[in-house]
Amino acid sequence: MVDTSLFDLTGRVALLTGASKGMGQAMAEGLAEHGARVVISSRKQDACEAVAAGINNRFGAGRAVAIACNAGYKEQLQSLVDKTHDLLGPVDVLVGNAGVNPFYGPMSKIPDEAFDKILNTNVKANHWLCQMVIPDMVAKGRGSIMITSSTGAFAGSEVLGTYNISKLADIALIRNLALELGPKGVRVNAICPGLIRTDFAKALWDNPEAEKRTREQVPLRRLGEASDLKGLAVFLASDASAYITGQAMTVCGGANMWA
């Protein structure tokens, strides 16, 4: 029998934002499959409950709970953490996957409201959430934090400039937290997806030009799927990655290998 204990997450509590669909849902399912109890969080309670019910049906009652939260509001994030403590206990694994991009176009045209929303939700909310769960991890001398960034962090864009700025800021955030928290046993990493076939990125992949670029430029010759994030999330949550922190790990089919 193959020993999979390095990836065993039994008894650990994982809190995920942006987890009711797409990459967040896939990561939640992967963590639950390897033994974790997971909190499914996004803005809509019914969507969270549907994902949690699916996980509980597959892996056993009580493996997932649903807690709605708009990550752009600090008080809602605090309520999310408080409810997690009440229902499941201290947080061992945090996946900050919630993100927004309400503007598509040049930075010279972006309204202040859109700029602020992108930075608040994609960066400040992750900073707040980390502050709220770090005490749980420090008390145990162990923990793993993952923030979803993007390969867009490594380049400029004529239409996604502010979004890319926010994702590069997330990498700076995890690096600084990795430096601060390493001596306390807490690891902090960024996950940087390339073009993944999700509803969030549909405007970028659902067109003939994108399909052509994928066939010609992506070494694996396909778009990413949400399920491609499952393995990395399990790896970073588990003891298999015990000596990995402060890293921006790309999931891009090889498209970003030259960056």
Token pair recorded at residue 74:
């600090």
Closest C-alpha to 110, from 166, 70, 180 = 166
Distance CA 96, CA 18 (A): 7
23 contacts 97 by C-beta, under 8 angstroms:
yes
Nearest 5°: CA angle at 230, between 224 and 232? 90
163 in catalytic set: yes
Residues listed for the chain:
259
Three-state DSSP class for 32?
A: helix
Backbone φ/ψ region at 254: left (φ over 0), alpha (ψ -120 to 50), beta? left
Token pair recorded at residue 209:
């030009």
According to DSSP, the residues that pair with 201 across neighbouring strands are none
**Catalytic annotation, pick one of 73, 104, 163, 243:** 163
Three-state DSSP class for 95?
A: strand
The H or E element that residue 164 is part of is helix 161-181
Distance CA 13, CA 92 (A): 5
Place of tokens 């940087």: 192
246 contacts 175 by C-beta, under 8 angstroms:
yes
Three-state DSSP class for 146?
A: strand
Distance CA 251, CA 247 (A): 13
Active site residues: 163
